[in-house]
Amino acid sequence: MMARLTAGAGAALLALVLAACAPPPQSIIVQVEVTATPSGPSPTPVPTWTATPVPTATPIPPAQVQAVLPEVVSPLEPGPVEAAFLPPPGVDVAVQMSATVMDPLADVYATFDLSEREGDRFRSSDELQLPLDPLPGYWWLIVHAETQLTVVGEPARFFEIEPVAFRDMTGTLPSGVTMGVPVAFGEAVAVGNLEAGGRVWQHKDGEVALWWAPGPTEELLLSNALVALEATYDADPRQPAVPMHTEYFETDWQGQTAFEFPEQWLGTDGGPGRAWVIQGSDFWLYVLRVRSLGGDDLPSLHVEVAGTFGFAEP
């Protein structure tokens, strides 16, 4: 039998049902912030590194380089090549000096090590011997300085070569041969004639000689060359002491058979010498000699003059 609910009990039941279907109450979020109270002293901040500026180096002034030329540049006055190197005051720096001589065609004529030093001056141990018949135009002396410093100045200079006046050899030498002897060379010996004779020219510390005579009509032999060479000693009226010969070389001169004899002359006017016995195409024999007068080396100018001897074009 179904029980009946009273009005009061139904109301109470409805209230429970509605309460069960109602949404749950919203959550309440409580945020708690905790501040810690330091119990000790505050830490010391880490120091920041600051770069110390490097002082700027004071620049070193450049060195001065100067090519040095004589007032007159002449083949008759050979001499060492010179240059000046002036470092800044108070600066001691290493330097190596050299020089190049160039002709008007920009070809290298000679190079030098300027190895001898006296103060700010550097010079070569070898002499610059310019040609007796040089190319016309401007020649150049260029100085090179190997150093850590910047260089300024006048390391390159141009120059012209003083012309050389030559002796007129017409009637002096046999026909068919030529030789350029400067007027500055004085004639020390003149003997014989155009058939057989000789000439000796002197200048300062050396001399150049040429002797000639008909020779055997055969190929030049060493024995014949020695006879011709020794005959020049007897033909010289100054009667110099006979030089010593220690060796010889078979060679040629302008394609003609020749023998070369190193010589060593004795006495106060002694010194090294060099002689060539040359056979011409007509079998004449020519003895060409260059020697020093009291020096230890053959003078370069006299070697240059001896080198002008040659045979004329037929």
CATH value at residue 136: 2.60.40.1930
Asked which of 128-132, 238-242, 260-264, 297-301 is least confident by mean pLDDT, the reply is: 238-242
Q: Which domain holds residue 306?
A: 177-311
**Distance separating alpha carbons of residues 202 and 268, to the nearest angstrom:** 16
Query: Are 147 and 88 members of one domain?
Result: yes
Which of the listed residues 127, 159, 191 is the one where a domain comes to its end?
A: 159
What mean pLDDT comes out for the span 20-40? 49
- More confident of the two residues 154 and 59: 154
Query: Are 108 and 142 members of one domain?
Result: yes
Query: Are 181 and 303 members of one domain?
Result: yes
Query: Are 195 and 77 members of one domain?
Result: no
- More confident of the two residues 292 and 245: 292
Which of the listed residues 159, 188, 217 is the one where a domain comes to its end?
A: 159
DSSP reduced 3-state for 69: coil
What mean pLDDT comes out for the span 113-131? 95
Query: Are 216 and 190 members of one domain?
Result: yes
Could you tell me if residue 77 is inside a domain? yes
Identify whether the C-beta of residue 297 lies closer than 8 Å to the C-beta of residue 78: no
**Distance separating alpha carbons of residues 98 and 96, to the nearest angstrom:** 7
**Longest distance between any two alpha carbons in the chain, whole Å:** 189
CA 266 and chain centroid, separation: 37
Helix (H) or strand (E) holding 227: helix 222-235
Query: Are 181 and 288 members of one domain?
Result: yes
At residue 202, φ and ψ (nearest 5 deg) are -120, 150
Total domains in the chain come to 2
At residue 34, the pLDDT reads 44
At residue 26, the pLDDT reads 53
**Distance separating alpha carbons of residues 6 and 217, to the nearest angstrom:** 180
Cα distances (angstroms) measured from residue 87 to each of 65, 91, 94: 9, 6, 10
Identify whether the C-beta of residue 230 lies closer than 8 Å to the C-beta of residue 221: no
At residue 22, the pLDDT reads 47
Query: Are 296 and 224 members of one domain?
Result: yes
> What region does 176 belong to: left with phi over 0, alpha with psi -120 to 50, or beta?
left
Could you tell me if residue 298 is inside a domain? yes
Could you tell me if residue 28 is inside a domain? no
At residue 59, the pLDDT reads 82
| pLDDT tens sequence across 159-207 | 999 999 999 999 999 999 999 999 999 999 999 999 999 999 999 999 9
pLDDT band at 44 (very low <50, low <70, confident <90, very high): low
Does the structure show a pLDDT above 70 at 134? Answer: yes
Residue-averaged pLDDT of the chain:
87
Does the structure show a pLDDT above 50 at 14? Answer: no
Could you tell me if residue 135 is inside a domain? yes
pTM as predicted: 0.76
Could you tell me if residue 5 is inside a domain? no
Query: Are 152 and 197 members of one domain?
Result: no
Tell me what percent of the chain is helix, strand and coil, each rounded to the nearest 5.
Answer: 10, 35, 50
- More confident of the two residues 64 and 37: 64
Does the structure show a pLDDT above 60 at 33? Answer: no
Could you tell me if residue 35 is inside a domain? no
Query: Are 154 and 72 members of one domain?
Result: yes
Query: Are 288 and 227 members of one domain?
Result: yes
What is the percent of the chain with per-residue pLDDT over 70, rounded to a whole number? 82
- Residue by residue, DSSP assigns 233-298 as HHH-TT-PPPPB----EEEEETTEEEEEEEEEE-STT-EEEEEEEEE-TTSEEEEEEEEESS-SS-
Could you tell me if residue 48 is inside a domain? no
Q: Domain containing 206 — which CATH number?
A: 3.40.1000
Query: Are 202 and 120 members of one domain?
Result: no
DSSP reduced 3-state for 300: helix
pLDDT band at 49 (very low <50, low <70, confident <90, very high): low
Which of the listed residues 109, 128, 159 is the one where a domain comes to its end?
A: 159
Does the structure show a pLDDT above 80 at 216? Answer: yes
Q: Are strands 63-68 and 151-154 parallel, antiparallel or unpaired?
A: parallel
Could you tell me if residue 235 is inside a domain? yes
pLDDT band at 240 (very low <50, low <70, confident <90, very high): confident
Query: Are 123 and 190 members of one domain?
Result: no
Does the structure show a pLDDT above 80 at 9? Answer: no
Identify whether the C-beta of residue 185 lies closer than 8 Å to the C-beta of residue 202: yes
What mean pLDDT comes out for the span 223-227? 96
**How many Cβ atoms from other residues are within 10 Å of residue 291's Cβ?**
26
